[in-house]
C-alpha cells in the first residue's frame, strides 16, 4: 500500500516540465507614466498629504493603491476636491474646461497629462483654427478621448472607432477635414482606419508624425516578435488600459492565445497545460515589480528557462512641471 503513495502524489502534483519563458522588451512603464507618478509623489512632498488626483493617475490598481498609501486621494470630478486643496490631472489628459474651473476656484493644480497627449491637444486646436472639422480615431469613453475632444468647441470634432464608421460619415465633397488619433491604439487597426479615411476623403489632412505614441508602438512590435513562438501570452495590465488591451489583440491576431491579468494571483495553473513556450509582457502602466511577481508565480508551477527578447531600446524622458522644479 505504502509503495503506491509516491505514485499518487506524482500524479496530483503540478507539472514541472521545463517551460520556455519569453519576456518582451520594451514592456511596462513608459516615460509619460513615470512622469505622472513622479508628479503625484513630488506634489505630496511639496504640499503634504492629502493631494487630490482627478481620475486614476494611470490605469493600474497597484500603482493607484501605492499612491493612496502615500497620501493621494483619487476622485472622478473636480467638484469632489475641497477648496484650497492641491489637485493633479491624470496622464490621460482632461477637457480644457477642467483646468479653467480649477483656476476659477483658486486651486493649486498640476497637469500630469502625457506630453505626447498634449501634443495631440495642440494639433486639435490648430486644425479647428484652420477651419477643418476633425475626425478623431479613438475609443468612445476613454479618458484620453474625452480629454482630446474637450479641447475644441462642441461640434468641431467627430469620433471614429472603426472602418465601418468611416463608411457612415456624411460630409459634403470638399469639406475641410483633418484626422487625429488616440495615442494608445492598435497600430494595425489604426492604419486600416486612416487608409479608409484617405480613400473616402482625399482632401483630409493628417498629422506630420503619427499620433500613436512611441511606447504603444514599441510594445506592440515587441509582442509581434515573440507571439509566433508562444503557445500562450500573458499581458499584465488593467481591463481599462487601452494599450494593454491592444497587446492582447496583437497576439491574438497572430493566432496566439493571450490573457490579460492584473496580478500573478489571477494565473490559473490550468492555463499552462500543454504550454511549452509562454510569452510575457506588460502594458505601459504596469510596473516591473508585477512582471517579476508573475515570473515567480510561474516558477512555482513549472521550472522555467527565462529569455528576454529586445526589439528596441527606450531612452525617452519628459520634464516635470515648473511648479515642482522651483
Phi/psi for 54 (5° steps) reads -80, 115
Distance separating the N- and C-terminal Cα atoms of the chain:
77
Among 41, 125, 129, 144, the one annotated catalytic: 144
Three-state SS string over 247-271 comes to HHHHHHHCCCEEEEECCHHHCCHHH
For the record, the C-alpha cell of 326 comes out as 522651483
Based on the residue annotation, tell me whether 144 is a catalytic residue of this protein.
yes
Q: What Cα–Cα distance (Å) separates residue 45 from each residue in 30, 86, 323, 324?
A: 23, 12, 13, 10
Asked if 16 and 302 count as a contact pair (C-beta separation under 8 A), the reply is yes
For 188, phi then psi, to 5°, come to: -70, -45
Is-contact 148 140, C-beta < 8 A? no
- Known catalytic residues are 144
Amino acid at each position: 500500500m505504502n509503495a503506491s503513495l509516491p505514485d499518487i502524489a506524482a500524479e496530483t502534483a503540478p507539472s514541472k516540465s521545463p517551460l520556455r519563458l519569453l519576456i518582451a522588451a520594451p514592456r511596462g512603464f513608459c516615460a509619460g507614466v513615470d512622469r505622472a507618478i513622479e508628479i503625484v509623489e513630488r506634489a505630496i512632498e511639496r504640499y503634504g498629504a492629502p493631494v487630490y488626483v482627478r481620475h486614476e493617475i494611470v490605469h493600474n490598481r497597484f500603482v493607484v493603491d501605492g499612491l493612496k498609501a502615500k497620501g493621494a486621494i483619487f476622485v472622478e470630478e473636480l467638484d469632489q476636491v475641497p477648496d484650497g486643496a492641491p489637485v493633479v490631472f491624470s496622464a490621460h489628459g482632461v477637457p480644457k474646461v477642467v483646468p479653467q474651473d480649477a483656476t476659477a476656484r483658486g486651486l493649486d493644480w498640476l497637469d500630469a497629462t502625457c506630453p505626447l497627449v498634449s501634443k495631440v491637444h495642440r494639433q486639435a486646436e490648430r486644425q479647428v483654427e484652420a477651419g477643418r472639422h476633425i475626425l478623431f480615431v479613438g475609443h468612445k469613453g476613454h479618458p484620453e478621448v474625452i480629454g482630446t475632444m474637450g479641447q475644441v468647441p462642441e461640434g468641431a470634432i467627430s469620433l471614429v472607432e472603426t472602418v465601418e464608421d468611416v463608411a457612415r460619415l456624411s460630409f459634403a465633397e470638399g469639406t475641410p477635414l483633418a484626422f487625429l488619433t488616440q495615442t494608445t491604439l492598435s497600430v494595425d487597426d489604426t492604419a486600416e482606419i486612416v487608409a479608409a479615411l484617405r480613400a473616402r476623403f482625399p482632401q483630409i489632412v493628417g498629422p506630420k508624425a503619427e499620433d500613436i505614441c512611441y511606447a504603444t508602438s514599441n510594445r506592440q512590435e515587441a509582442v509581434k516578435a515573440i507571439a509566433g513562438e508562444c503557445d500562450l501570452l500573458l499581458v499584465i495590465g488593467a481591463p481599462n488600459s487601452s494599450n494593454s488591451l491592444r497587446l492582447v489583440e496583437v497576439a491574438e491576431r497572430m493566432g496566439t492565445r493571450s490573457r490579460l491579468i492584473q496580478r500573478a494571483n489571477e494565473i490559473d495553473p490550468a492555463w499552462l497545460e500543454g504550454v511549452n513556450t509562454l510569452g510575457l509582457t506588460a502594458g505601459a502602466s504596469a510596473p516591473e515589480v508585477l512582471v517579476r511577481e508573475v515570473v515567480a508565480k510561474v516558477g512555482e508551477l513549472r521550472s522555467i528557462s527565462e529569455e528576454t527578447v529586445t526589439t528596441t531600446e527606450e531612452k525617452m524622458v519628459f520634464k516635470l512641471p515648473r511648479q515642482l522644479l522651483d
